[in-house]
A and B are shown apart, each in its own frame.
Chain A
Amino acid sequence: MSDMMPRRPTAIAAWAVIVFLQVPVLVVVLAAFSTTSYLTIPPQGWTLAWFGKVLSDPAWLSAIRMSLFLAAGSTVVALVLGVAAAYAIAHRMLPGSEMLTALVMAPLVMPSVVIGVAMLQYFSLIGLRGSLVGLLCAHVVITVPYIVRSALASLGGLDASLEEAARVLGATGLEAFRLVTLPLIRPGLVAGALFAFITSLDNVPVTIFLISARQTTLPVLIFSSVEMGVDPSVAAISTLLIVVTGLVLLVAERRTGFHRFI
């Protein structure tokens, strides 16, 4: 009796889709090393010049710094706010926790562009338009759902009696969290934080409404450069992003089994 295993046609279709998913990535990487500004297959020559050009351009460097700062900053703030709230929700410590969960998840439901324009108007009103603080707060709003979601999933899988055991053995509430709960939910939190970091690093639809003329983020700069015309230095900076994302994903998978948390 044959089980419901995929046969050859399914396998071929599956691999074709996998290839489809990688094609634009490969094209970008090839374009970054190609001497011509328009890509041909095979490329007409190889060069590292575009990387040198990008990495010596202060505009790109400042955009990279800005993006890293925003991603790191919003992830840390979202972790602190999100894990505390998720703990209260998971332990049913407050009435109306469904409403809070719905509120936290709402930025995922709301189209990003709507969040972007709403914040643009709001920040214009309260004088935060174009400010770093405003941008940081906006990024916390869009990253915190991922933190709360992964924290809730991790906390939900935890035997409630573990913390109780620690309490009975003499630990204070905070010690029980630090010594027992935190180490056990850490893989889930790392995965959630990584997802939040990448979400922030990736964001254009909210950020584009809020940046000032002086400071922009990496994806917004790529976005506006592409609007001006395709340039191999865009391919080079994109390739750097591809390599970093790939490495982070591999390390995360090794360390935490990242795919289980998505």
Chain B
Amino acid sequence: MSSLSFDRLGKSYDSVEVVRQISLTVGEGEFVALLGPSGCGKTTILRMVAGLVQPSTGRILIGDEDVTALPPNKRGLGLVFQSYALFPHLTVFENVAFGLRRQGVAAAELKRRVEDALAMVRLHAHGGRYPRQLSGGQQQRVAMARALAPRPRVLLFDEPLSNLDAQLRDEMQIELKRLQRSLGITTLFVTHDQSEALSMADRVCVLANGVMQQFDTPEEVYHRPATAFVASFIGKPNRLPGTIAGRDGAGGTVRLGPGCTLASAHVTAAVGAVVEVVIRHEAIHIVPEGADGLAGTITLRAFNGARVHYVVRLDEGVELVAETASSGALAALAVGTAVRLAIAPEAVFAMVPA
């Protein structure tokens, strides 16, 4: 097992910089997710690590070894593709054996290791089948067994769960995480799905336009976004136009409309600046009439099982989405009910729009 580091890693295509000077280290046995919208450069980074794309600048190190100039077959990595990329003309057994055969592993040991890998993903009975005879979830697990069988130094995932349906995806998240833990393998996981990144990774690296926005634990990234991008990308945000009415240390007051101001703990603009105000749905708490908070009226209620969403129109005309648990007194408010909204200053981000 080895750590994986990038040192000012960058990539340009025809003078367009798609990855800019990324430096980070994935510790031994650590699970790091690269999270960002499509086109943010995360897949390019992964492909540079795998050796499928040559970096324009910077270095890639596995352990202490500089692998920047090595071809993919000399890097000792495992890669699980979004499309799985199972070899359609080979059986499941031969797919998993492919990497071992390249290493020249002897027949008896090869058989044992392929069977171990297949048992690990609970497919020991499927070695003789062809990929097309398997379900999507099973193909996904074969891809994982194939990547793991040669005992790679680092495991790479390129959106491996995006082709699965929602329920299977949740199951695979847990299974994948458990497998990674039990093997203690250094893992880099590329995804655009924030819940996937937050629930599986030890640390999350958020990327936008090739630039690293924040690299921290899921909790920090979620609760203390470092940039406006992270604040609006993670969670389900309300985005409202506003102006800065006052400053107070790192925070201040934001005006959403005439007579409607909010305290914010995160203000990055000067007084009078036009900003985007970002408040997550679940950070807006509905409190009984008479308590402290912004006054408004419920205009829409949507029940989605675990949660209830309310669209609340403030008296000033601004609309916000609030979210509560789907049981309890606050879950059954009718459209037209007058309510008050309590919003903690820590949950309000006022940033100059990018």
Contacts and interface: CB of A to CB of B under 8 A. Distances in A.
B280 interface: no
B112 interface: no
Contacts of B146: 165, 169
A171 B99 CA distance: 8
- Chain B, interface size category, equals 20 to 34
Contacts of A180: 87, 89
Looking at chain A's contact residues, the main secondary structure is helix
Contact of A172 (B50, B73, B82, B147): B73
B75 interface: yes
B85 interface: yes
Interface in B119-176: 146-147, 150
Given A161-B81, A175-B102, A168 B87 contact: no
B208 interface: no
A241 interface: no
A183 interface: yes
B52 A167 contact: yes
Nearest to B149: A169
Contacts of A172: 71, 73
A172 to B, nearest CB: 6
B102 A164 contact: no
B50 A184 contact: no
Q: Which of A170, A179, A180 has the most CB of B within 10 A?
A: A170
A172 B74 CA distance: 9
Contacts of B147: 169
Contacts of B222: none
A117 to B, nearest CB: 45
A57 interface: no
Nearest to B76: A170
Nearest to A183: B89
Nearest to A164: B52
Given A167-B73, A168-B73, A170-B73, A161 B89 contact: no
Nearest to A162: B85
A164 to B, nearest CB: 5
Contact of A167 (B72, B78, B150): B72
A159 interface: yes
B233 interface: no
A170 B85 contact: no
B262 interface: no
Given A162-B87, A164-B52, A184-B89, A170 B81 contact: no
Interface string B79-106: 1011101011100000000110011000
B77 interface: yes
B83 A161 contact: yes
A169 B51 contact: no
Nearest to B98: A169
Interface in B28-66: 50-52
A176 to B, nearest CB: 8
A166 interface: yes
Q: Which of A166, A168, A171, A179 has the most CB of B within 10 A?
A: A168
B83 A164 contact: no
B99 to A, nearest CB: 4
Contacts of A162: 85, 87
Interface in A31-46: none
A159 B51 contact: no
A168 B85 CA distance: 12
23 contacts: A161-B81, A161-B83, A161-B85, A162-B85, A162-B87, A165-B87, A165-B146, A167-B51, A167-B71, A167-B73, A168-B50, A168-B72, A169-B99, A169-B146, A169-B150, A170-B73, A170-B102, A170-B150, A171-B102, A175-B102, A179-B98, A180-B89, A183-B89
Q: Which 3 A-B pairs have the closest CB atoms?
A: A170-B102, A169-B99, A165-B85
Interface of A: 159, 161-162, 164-173, 175, 179-180, 183-184
